[in-house]
Amino acid sequence: MAFPFMEAVVCFMILMYLFESYLDLRQHAALKLPTLPKTLEGVISQEKFEKSRAYSLDKSNFHFVHEFFTILMDSAILFFGILPWFWKKSGEFLVLAGLDAENEIFHTLAFLAGVMFWSQITDLPFSLYSTFVIEASHGFNKQTIWLFFRDMIKGIALAVVIGPPIVAAIIVIVQKGGPYLAIYLWGFMFVLSLVMMTLYPILIAPLFNKFTPLPDGELRAKIESLASSLKFPLKKLFVVDGSTRSSHSNAYMYGFFNNKRIVLYDTLLQQCKKDEEVVAVIAHELGHWKLNHTMYSFIAVQILTFLQFGGYILVRNSKDLFQSFGFDTQPVLIGLIIFQHTVIPLQHLVSFGLNLVSRSFEFQADAFAKKLGYSLALRAGLVKLQEENLSAMNTDPWYSAYHYSHPPLVERLAALDEPDKKAD
């Protein structure tokens, strides 16, 4: 008797939903606490705490509804054989359109077009509610309904332009790959990731946001001086108009080798009134670069990608696996989708491990900025960003350990203060 792969996957999905819902309930209880953590008393204003609490609880309530709908829909799609039914219907559509349904590339693209349409329709009410009700009611949303749909249409257009060549290449590689398939797939994805990392900030990001050089002045001089002291090859320093969509703030860097760029959200400049606070945030980001965190993360992703493809080639010809999910043929894309479902348990473990590493990197980058003399400024900047973004002040330790890639503010401030206490 064949192993019931599909039933096992659905059972595990439901078990993980129940486990994560338990963590969500713990976090919801923490968010309802009426007082600040002792560490933040006198640091965060009571007004900001109340606003943060209301915002976090609204997002938590929304999350419960969204996750319940998602597990219900995903389980039904697998359990009732919607995937094989939709694969068959996409082939029939090709025949009606006068195209060759036997061509796996055409068939796959028709299937993906339908999936994309379905996902856009089912996710749209949640996106609209999140943006125009929750984010708007707490003062974060800045975009109009027109801008929202314009961004959505641009995203779909990009998927239509970029997606088909990538999908076609993967199908051809799998069909022709032979014994070295895992290496060929990994090599293709490696090159693709480098190409996308190069093209995204130059061609894609400007389609959605406006990037302008940071004006000459004291802040620019301080950032350039810091970069120069660390031998960071800063070529361009941009401000992005994040405020056209949201009041949330951020900063990031990108670029290969000696061609680095730093991007500051205009909201970051508005929220951190003191230049030293902005420079301290940049010092933290430069810490990630100096300590090779970006490179380590990239290497880890490449190793995991190779291992995933290695696992895929072990099961791609398993008739029992495909038949368990309702397929009597073995299309490449469907094989990849099924494989992703079967390794969900491993993915959760890997995600948890990566979060642990990421939190460690955040502490190290904070310590790096402190060594440069930005302890007080970074402390003030982190508090300011926590306040202005209305981030959760009270967090459940189990929830944050499982979900957070960045340590809670309480832990970061304690780590920044600890060396000072030891030195006294």
Catalytic residues, by residue number, are 285, 366
Is 387 labeled as ligand-binding?
A: no
As given in the structure block, the two tokens for residue 227 are 């970069």
288 labeled binding residue: yes
CB-based contact 3:319 (threshold 8 Å) = no
Rg (CA), the chain: 24
How far is the C-alpha of 77 from the C-alpha of 80, rounded, in Å?
6
The CB density around residue 424, as the number of other CB atoms within 10 Å, is: 5
In this structure, which amino acid lies at residue 311?
Answer: G
Query: How many residues are given for the chain?
Result: 424
Q: Which residues of 349-379 are buried (b: 16+ CB within 10 A; e: fewer)?
A: eeeeeebeeebebbebbbbbbbebebbebbb
For 199, other C-beta atoms within 10 Å of its C-beta total 12
Strand ranges of the sheet holding 251-254, from the earlier edge strand across to the other edge? 211-213, 234-240, 260-265, 251-254
The CA distance from 88 to 44, in Å, is 57
Which helix (H) or strand (E) segment holds residue 107: the answer is helix 104-129
Binding annotation for Zn(2+): 284, 288, 362
Binding annotation: 284, 288, 362
